[in-house]
Amino acid sequence: MSDEIPDAAPVDEPGFAGFDPVPAPAAASPYRVLARKYRPAHFGDLIGQDAMVRTLTNAFAAGRIPQAWMLTGVRGVGKTTTARILARALNFQTEDGGGAPTTDLVKFGIHCKDIIEGRHIDVMEIDAASNNGVDNVRQINDAVRYAPVSARYKVYIIDEVHMMSTAAFNALLKTLEEPPPHAKFIFATTEIGKVPITVLSRCQRFDLRRIESGTLVSYLANIGRQEGIEAEDEALAAIARAAEGSARDSLSILDQAIAHAAGTITLEDVRSMLGLADRARIIDLFEQVMKGDIAAALGELRAQYDAGADPAVVLGDLAEFTHLVTRLKLVPEALKDNSLNQAERVRGGDFAERLSIRVLARTWQLLLKGLTEVRQADRPIMAAEMVLVRLAHAADLPTPDEALKALRDGSGMGNGGNGAPSSAPRPPSGGGNTALAARPVLASANPMPSAAPRAMAQPQVLVASLEDVVALASQHRDITLKLALERDVRPVRFEPGRIEFSLASGASRTLATDLSRKLKEWTGQTWMVAVVNGEGGATLREQAEAVKGRRESDAASHPAVKAVLERFPGARIVDVRDPRAAAAAEPPPTLAGDDDDLPEAEPLFDDSEPDFDGIDF
C-alpha cells in the first residue's frame, strides 16, 4: 500500500464533479436604532430648545463666540448632540476651502460628517466618568497647545463633566480661562450642582429644557410616517408621557413599541409593554378614592394589577392626575392643553370644581410618601392597597389650622373637617371620608359648627386653672399625674381648651400627651396641651413652698412663738396653719403638756409631734 495521499481537488474549481461555485451572501447592513438614525445633525433638527438655538445663532452671527460652553439638562434632551453640532458649526468649511463659523448647517461641509459621527481627529470626545483624574487633564493641557490637524478649531467635548475630581477641575482652570485661540471646550452634565463655581464662571451656560409632551407627540408622529409605521395618537401620547421630556427615551420606547406591536401601534400595546394603567381607569380610581369607596378602589387597583399594571406606576399616575386637577383648579386655561385627552379634560375639570385645594394637597403628599413605600416593599401591591386606604380615610381630614379654629370655636372635629354634619350619610361600601360627597362642601375650606356638639353627651366640667387640673387628677385618684403636675409643670399659658407649659428638669417627655388624653377622658372636650421652649412660671410645689416659707417667717416673728423658741433652745417651726381653715376642718390643736402655757399660740402649731405640736426640738 502506498503511503502517498492524493491531493483533494478544491471545491471551488469548475471541473470538480458535482459541485458548482456558491456565491457568498451579501453582508446585511446592521440595524440602527431610531435614537441614532434620527439624531439631529444641525440646529434646525433640535426640538424644544428654541431659546438656546436663538442665542447661539445671534452669537455666531455677531462673532461673539466664547471659549467654553456648559450644557446641562436631564438625560436625552440633546446635550451631546448639541455639542457635536456646535463643533460642526465652529469648523464648517466648504469643499473649496471657504466658509466661516456659522449656524446655517443644512448643507454638509468637508468636516461635518466625521464630526457628527464622532470620529474627527480634531474633535475629541472625552468621557469624564472614566477620565476624571489629574493625569487625564494634564494630557489635555499638553495637547491643547498644538494646532489642529485639519479643522479650524480643536474642540474638546467632555461629557458628564461633574464626574471629574476636584484636583482635575483645578488643573483645568487656567487652560479653561485662557485657552489658545484655536481651542474650544464644550462640557455636558446632568448634575450641574456638582460642577465647581470656578468652572461655571468661565463658561457660557445653557440649560436644555425638557421637551413638552405635545412637541414630542408631533416629533414621534413624523418619525412614524418616515418609517412607514402607523400609530394611534393616544399611543404616542402615552409614549411621550413615559419619556418625561426626553427625546432619546421617547425614540427608544417607540422602537420597542414597533417591535412589540408588529403593525399598527395601539394604546393597549404601549400599556401592556410598559405596564401602564388605562388613563380612564386611573381617573375612575381617583374618583373612588375621593368618594371614600374603599372596596371599589381596592377592587379597581387589583383589576389593574391583574391586567399587568405596576402598582408603583398606578400610584404615580394617580399623583400625576392629582397634580393635573390642582393645576386645572388654579389655572383653568390649562384645559386648552392639546396633550390632554378627552377624559382628562372633561372629568379633570369637573374634579377641579368639586375638590378643595387642601384635599388635593393632602392627596399629593400621601401619594408621594406612598410611592416610596411601594417601591421599597417586598409586596408592592399590598403596600399600594394600604396607601389607597389611607387616602380614602384622610382625603377630607381638616388641616391643623382648621382643627385649631374648630377647637377654639367649640365646634368639634366630628365631621372630619369637611363642613358637613357628622350625621351625614356614608357611602354604602363604607370606610372613608367622602371628599366628593357634595359640591358646596368641597368648595369650602372652612369647617362649620357641628349640628350636635359633643359636649351635650356629658356634663360640663369647669377647668379654669392648673390648680383645677390638679384637683381633677386627685378626684380621679391619678396620683402619678397629680404629683407630676405639681412638681414638673411650669405654666406659660392657660385658657379653656389650651395649656402651654415648660418642663422642669427630669420631667417625663410624655407628660403633655398623657395630660391631653386624661383631660379628654375627664372633661369630654379636646384639649391642646403643648410643651414650649423658654422659662415658665414656678411650679405648684415651688409656689407652695414659697407660701410656706413666708408663713413660717411671719409665725417666727409672733411674740408667742418667740417666747416658745426662747424657752426651748433648739426648737424649730414644723408647720403653720391658718386658724380659720384649721377651725373649719378639725378641732383646734392643743399643746402636749401644760395647756396654760401659751393658749394664744395653740392654733399655729401642728399636732403631728407627740411632745410639742408645731415645735421640733
The predicted-structure confidence for 72-91, as pLDDT tens digits, reads as follows: 998 889 999 999 999 999 99
433 with 343, same domain? yes
Q: Please indicate, yes or no, if residue 586 is contained in any of the structural domains.
A: yes
Last residue in a domain, options 537, 561, 584? 537
173 with 124, same domain? yes
199 with 70, same domain? yes
Least confident of 349-353, 418-422, 432-436, 501-505: 418-422
Selected residue with higher pLDDT from 373 and 405: 373
Q: Round the average pLDDT of the chain to a whole number and report it.
A: 79
486 with 423, same domain? no
How many helical (H) and strand (E) elements, i.e. helices and strands, does the chain have? 25, 10
Q: Please indicate, yes or no, if residue 3 is contained in any of the structural domains.
A: no
The predicted-structure confidence for 292-307, as pLDDT tens digits, reads as follows: 888 999 999 998 888 7
110 with 79, same domain? yes
The predicted-structure confidence for 30-68, as pLDDT tens digits, reads as follows: 888 998 889 998 898 898 899 999 999 999 999 999 999
Query: Taking 50 as the threshold, does the pLDDT of residue 528 lie above it?
Result: yes
Q: How confident is the model at residue 398 (pLDDT cuts 50, 70, 90)?
A: low
Calculate what percentage of the chain has a pLDDT beyond 70: 77
325 with 443, same domain? yes
Q: Please indicate, yes or no, if residue 4 is contained in any of the structural domains.
A: no
CB burial of residue 617 (10 Å; 0-12, 13-18, 19+)? exposed
> E strands of 497-592, at which residues?
498-503, 528-531, 572-573
Q: For residue 352, what are the contacts with CB-CB under 8 A and spacing of at least 6?
A: 325, 326, 328, 329, 332
532 with 570, same domain? no
Least confident of 11-20, 347-356, 495-504: 11-20
3-class SS of residue 503: strand
Q: How confident is the model at residue 599 (pLDDT cuts 50, 70, 90)?
A: very low
474 with 450, same domain? no
Q: For residue 90, what are the contacts with CB-CB under 8 A and spacing of at least 6?
A: 65, 101, 152, 153, 155, 184
Query: Taking 60 as the threshold, does the pLDDT of residue 456 lie above it?
Result: no
Q: How confident is the model at residue 145 (pLDDT cuts 50, 70, 90)?
A: very high
Pairing outcome for strands 498-503 and 489-495: antiparallel
283 with 424, same domain? yes
Identify the pLDDT of residue 433: 46
CATH code where residue 358 lies: 1.20.272.10
Last residue in a domain, options 425, 455, 485? 455
Identify the pLDDT of residue 58: 93
564 with 516, same domain? no
Q: How many CB atoms are located within 10 Å of the residue 487 CB?
A: 14
Last residue in a domain, options 188, 207, 226? 207
Pairing outcome for strands 183-189 and 528-531: unpaired
Q: How confident is the model at residue 24 (pLDDT cuts 50, 70, 90)?
A: low
358 with 443, same domain? yes
Count of structural domains, the chain:
4
Q: Please indicate, yes or no, if residue 9 is contained in any of the structural domains.
A: no
197 with 69, same domain? yes
Domain span including residue 589: 550-616
Q: Please indicate, yes or no, if residue 242 is contained in any of the structural domains.
A: no
CATH code where residue 46 lies: 3.40.50.300
3-class SS of residue 183: strand
What's the average model confidence in pLDDT over 308-332?
89
